[in-house]
Amino acid sequence: MPFFLPPVPALPPGIDRSGKTAIVTGATQGIGLEISRQLLTCKVSNLVLAVRNLPKGEAVRQALLSEPAVKTANPNATIQVLKLDAENYESVQHFVSVFKAEFHDLHLLFANAGIGTAAKELASSGHEKNIQVNYLSNVLLTLALLPTLETTATKTGEPTRVTWTGSRGHKQSSLAGKPSSKKGEQVLKHLDTADALPMFTRYADSKLLCVLFQLELARHYGPDKVIVNSFCPGMVDTGMTDVLPIYLRVPVNAVKAIRARSPKKAAWIALNAAVVAGAETHGRLLGDMAVEEPWEWIKSEEGQRVQKMVWNETIGEMAGMVDLPVWDINGDGMPQ
Ligand SMILES: NC(=O)c1ccc[n+]([C@@H]2O[C@H](COP(=O)([O-])OP(=O)(O)OC[C@H]3O[C@@H](n4cnc5c(N)ncnc54)[C@H](OP(=O)(O)O)[C@@H]3O)[C@@H](O)[C@H]2O)c1
């Protein structure tokens, strides 16, 4: 990415999602809040804010409903706040069961919640926290909601959508520089146990796993019913850096002040991925509004080996928690 980010075109006028139900994770601030706002002005009928902090989510719900633009565009919108803490699988599973009990349909899922911590911390699952929040919980959420997304697609005759908030920062991953894994060493285990990683690489590692998983998903699961993609909005002026230690926050915020895009523009990029772009984006990361060519390392023999390991390890872990879809056994993304 150039230092000065290129302009972002606004969404085409007239996007109308009335009658649709959408979920946004991490909807309390930053990009997720702005995605929520824009979904409402695009007339989404039911919006579910999936948040870890219920009082904060409730305050956001009330603020959104009282915004003049929302009241004018979508006076009958319903917004529901449901608990989802992406730090643990149980919370994701509980969210899905509550959602399914209340809603029959799901048209749009934005898996957006994310963190970028510098120090090593483990989530209650035993996985490194960035990996759990930014990657593993998104996989579980997506797989657990696939049956609902598929049923809705069948009913409406058009694919439903899953869009993850990704990052071109995945190219800073520690996995790329790593010599071939020791025989038998698993990728997830390695990331959970690695102690001394350079700053920010845990975030990059988590976002690389997202890219690898979606690329492999598209080889096993076609886009006929559900289109799954992700987008990178470039640097965005959000609270994400607030958790950094002061000696990092000050320089990062200085760069942000010059370079970062507004959350509003980031949400244009998000909605482009989820409602404007088509099946050609299935399994792919959009950089701004265009599909990115996968990073050279991913295309290398080692990258492809790691991609398959990540897929197998992740699916192996998910198998104990969710009914997996019938995968395309040829692995070519074509229906069987
Ligand atoms: N900002 C950037 O430059 C940039 C660039 C590329 C990609 N991204 C990605 O954009 C996404 C949104 O980040 P942002 O920039 O909008 O940052 P943000 O302002 O810090 O928002 C993060 C959101 O995620 C929620 N969240 C964090 N941990 C959670 C958990 N364990 N369970 C549920 N929700 C959780 C936060 O909830 P609370 O309000 O409760 O904290 C908040 O709503 C992330 O996936 C991030 O990686 C950001």
Instruction: Give the separation between CA 32 and CA 50, rounded to whole angstroms.
Output: 10
- The 10s digit of each residue's pLDDT in 52-108 is 999 999 999 999 999 999 999 999 999 999 999 999 999 999 999 999 999 999 999
Contact 260, 184 (CB under 8 A): no
Burial, 95: exposed, middle or buried (Cβ in 10 Å; 0-12, 13-18, 19+)?
Answer: buried
Beta-carbon contacts of 250 under 8 Å, excluding residues fewer than 6 positions away, are: none
Lowest mean pLDDT among 112-116, 295-299, 330-334: 330-334
DSSP per position, 10-71: PPPTT---TT-EEEEESTTSHHHHHHHHHHHHTT-SEEEEEES-HHHHHHHHHHHHT-HHHH
Instruction: Give the separation between CA 163 and CA 285, rounded to whole angstroms.
Output: 10
Instruction: Give the separation between CA 183 and CA 192, rounded to whole angstroms.
Output: 17
* Ligand 1 pocket, CB under 6 A: 26, 28-32, 52-53, 56, 84-87, 112-115, 133-134, 165, 167, 232-233, 235-236, 238-240
Best probe residue, ligand 1, of 25, 52, 141 (max atoms within 8 Å of C-beta): 52
pLDDT-derived band at 330 (thresholds 50, 70, 90) equals low
Residue 159: in which H helix or E strand, if any?
none
Catalytic residue among 20, 89, 135, 203: 203
- The 10s digit of each residue's pLDDT in 69-82 is 999 999 999 999 99
- The 10s digit of each residue's pLDDT in 117-126 is 888 899 999 9
Q: Which two tokens stand for residue 321?
A: 């928690």
> Which residue(s) pair with 23 in the sheet?
48, 109
Where do the domains of the chain lie, and which CATH numbers do they carry?
21-234+263-318 (3.40.50.720)
Nearest residue by C-alpha to atom 44 in ligand 1: 114
Residue 125 phi, psi dihedral angles, 5° rounding: -70, -15
pLDDT-derived band at 336 (thresholds 50, 70, 90) equals very low
pLDDT-derived band at 335 (thresholds 50, 70, 90) equals very low
- The 10s digit of each residue's pLDDT in 173-191 is 999 877 665 667 899 999 9
Ligand 1: nearest atom to the Cα of 238? 19
Instruction: Give the separation between CA 294 and CA 284, rounded to whole angstroms.
Output: 8
> Which residue(s) pair with 21 in the sheet?
46
Nearest residue by C-alpha to atom 13 in ligand 1: 114
Nearest residue by C-alpha to atom 42 in ligand 1: 26
Tally of CA atoms within 13 A in the half-sphere of 259 that contains its CB: 14
Catalytic residue among 207, 221, 225, 265: 207
User: Does 203 qualify as catalytic in the annotation?
Assistant: yes
Query: Would you give the end-to-end CA distance of the chain in angstroms?
Result: 39
pLDDT greater than 60 at residue 225: yes
Residue 326: in which H helix or E strand, if any?
none
Residue 106 phi, psi dihedral angles, 5° rounding: -145, 120
Pairing verdict, β 290-291 and 285-287: antiparallel
User: Does 89 qualify as catalytic in the annotation?
Assistant: no
Ligand 1: nearest atom to the Cα of 256? 3
Share of the chain above pLDDT 70, in %: 96
